[in-house]
Amino acid sequence: MGAYAVPRGSPLVVRFNAYVDRRGPDECWPWRGTKRKDAEYGVFNLGREHGGTVTAARAAWFIEHGELPPRDREVCHSCDNPPCVNPRHLWLGTGAENMNDSAKKRRRGLRPRRFDWDLARQLLSQGQSTRKVGLAVGVSHTSILNLLKRAA
Ligand SMILES: [Zn+2]
């Protein structure tokens, strides 16, 4: 690892770090600042010259890399913990990749809170079998078949 893109002592970083519950290097670093009303995501104002208010994860990415991710990319959490801003737990993906990642995690035993019909439809459109799609979203393949019948 070379030098950080945004200097550690800069006012922006000091302001950002004041909201970070910094723990061990591989632990989650929960955001202690403002969160979006409707979500667990933290928000942070990078200042107008850097795009104004962004999610805390995007701000963490900016501080680590010196630039914001492209607009069509999402900062995803390998730890599945939305308030986390540990740069080691952040990766860039498209919306679809983020969904696939969630699906993979669900297959490892985390059941979805509610059935993700959009994800199921997306996977079906990619030619995946009803059995695979069922596994991905945590329901039986007959449920997928029934939903397909109902949607037809
Ligand atoms: Zn984390």
pLDDT digits (tens, 9 = 90+) for 46-76: 998 888 999 999 999 999 988 898 888 889 8
73 and 117 housed in the same domain = no
Ligand 1 centroid – CA 86 distance (Å): 6
* Segments forming the whole domain that contains residue 62: 11-93
CA of 26 to the centre of ligand 1 (A): 8
In a domain, 5, yes or no: no
Residues 83 and 17 in one domain: yes
Residues 89 and 100 in one domain: no
DSSP at 24: S
> Quick check: is 1 in a domain?
no
Q: How far is the CA of 56 from the centre of ligand 1 (A)?
A: 12
CA 144–ligand 1 middle distance (angstroms) = 32
User: Are 101 and 59 part of one and the same domain?
Assistant: no
Pairing of strands 43-45, 53-55: antiparallel
Ligand 1 midpoint to CA 59 (Å) = 15
How far, in Å, from the CA of 28 to the mean position of ligand 1?
A: 4
Last residue of a domain, one of 67, 93, 119: 93
Helix/strand/coil percent split, the chain, to 5:
40, 15, 45
- pTM greater than 0.85: no
CA of 90 from ligand 1 middle (Å) equals 8
Same domain, 89 and 101: no
The number of distinct structural domains making up the chain is 2
85 and 127 fall within a common domain:
no
What sign results for the dihedral spanned by CA atoms 137, 140, 142, 146? Answer: negative
pLDDT per residue as tens digits for the range 74-126: 898 989 899 999 999 999 987 777 777 777 776 665 544 456 777 788 888 88
